Amino acid sequence: MSDDIGKGGVRSVQLALDVLEQVAGAQGEIGVSELAVKLATTKGSVFRHLKTLVERGYLSQNPATSRYRLGIRTYVLGQAAASGIDLLSASGDAMRDLREELGLSVVLSVLEGGRLTVVTTSLGKASLEIGVRPGTELQLHCNAQGKVALAFSNKLMAEFSLRSQLQRYTEYTVVDHGALEREIHQVMSTGYGVAFEEETLGICALAAPIFNAANELTGTLAIVGTVQHISRVPPSGYVEALRRAALRISWNLGYKGSLM
C-alpha cells in the first residue's frame, strides 16, 4: 500500500510539472480540455493541479475566458534560476584557477530575494574535504559570506534586524549586535570578510563580493579551510587571490569597477 502511495505521489508531481510545461509552451492561454487531451488524462485530474498551481501563484486564470497562463511566481523563479546560471557561467574559470592556486575549497553563493544561497562548491586538494552543499541557505551573521552580503547590499542590511537575537553556534560566534556592526563596517573598508570558527569549530572562511553590471551585489566568492590554513588574521596572499578572483567574475558580469 505504501508503494502505491509513493508511486501515486510521484505521478502527481510529474503531472503537475507536465501541466506547467504545457501552459508555458502554449501559444497564449490554454484551457482545461486542451490540457487533458495533450496529457492524455482526465479533465478533473488536470483541474485539480491547475487549481493548486494558481493558488501558489505559478499559474494565472483569466476570469473572462477561464483559460490559463503563467503566473508571476513562475517569472520570479525563472529570474532566480537565470541569475544563478549567469553567475555560474561567469565564475567557472576563476573558481578553478583559485582552487589550483590556493588548494582550498572555493564556494560560490548567489544573493536573491534577500537570501544568500550556495550555488556550487569546488572542493580543495586536502585529504579532508571541506565544502558547502549547493542549495544551502547561509546565515548572515556567522559566516564570511553573510558578512560580505550585509556590508555591500544596502537593501539586505536594511532588512536585517540587528535587534533580533543572533544565534550562537560556537564560542566564537558573534552574537553582540554592536560587535557585528563593527565587523560589517570593517568588511566595507577592507573589501573582504572573515569568519574564524564562527559556525563550525575548526573551520574558517574568507569571502569577497561579486558585483553585476549595475554595480549591485549579486553574490559572494569564498575560500574555506581549517584553522591550519586560514588564521584569524588571514594571509595577505589568500586575501589578494580571493579578491582578484571575485573581481574577475564581476567583470564577466559587466562590472566596471576595480579592486579597492
CATH number, domain of 84, equals 3.30.450.40
Q: Domain ends where: 50, 70, 90?
A: 70
Residues 51 and 166 in one domain: no
Specify the pLDDT at position 75.
76
Residues 234 and 127 in one domain: yes
In eight-state DSSP terms, residue 104 is S
| Max intra-chain CA distance, the chain | 66
* Grid-cell match 487531451, residue found: 37
Residues 96 and 32 in one domain: no
Residues 54 and 117 in one domain: no
Residue 210 and residue 218 in contact, taking contact as beta carbons nearer than 8 Å: yes
Share of the chain above pLDDT 70, in %: 90
Residues 247 and 154 in one domain: yes
Q: What is the CATH number of the domain that holds 8?
A: 1.10.10.10
Please count the structural domains in the chain.
2
Q: pLDDT digits over 143-177, tens only?
A: 999 999 999 988 787 777 656 788 899 999 888 88
Residues of the chain with pLDDT under 50: 1-8
Give the orientation angle of helix 236-252 with respect to helix 72-102, to 10 degrees.
140
Residues 160 and 191 in one domain: yes
Residue 258 falls within a domain, yes or no? no
Residues 20 and 128 in one domain: no
Which stretches of 113-150 are assigned E, i.e. beta strand? 115-122
Residues 97 and 183 in one domain: yes
Residues 98 and 225 in one domain: yes
Residues 66 and 85 in one domain: no
Give the domain extent around 20: 2-70
Specify the pLDDT at position 134.
78
Compute the distance between CA of residue 171 and CA of residue 69 in angstroms, rounded to an integer.
Answer: 52
Residue 259 falls within a domain, yes or no? no
Specify the pLDDT at position 238.
95
Q: pLDDT digits over 83-100, tens only?
A: 666 888 899 999 999 999
Q: Domain ends where: 70, 87, 103?
A: 70
Residues 122 and 243 in one domain: yes
Residues 112 and 201 in one domain: yes
Specify the pLDDT at position 127.
63
Q: Domain ends where: 11, 39, 70?
A: 70
Residue 87 falls within a domain, yes or no? yes
Number of H helices and number of E strands within the chain?
8, 7
In degrees, to the nearest 5, what angle opens at C-alpha 51 toward C-alphas 49 and 56?
Answer: 95
Specify the pLDDT at position 3.
35
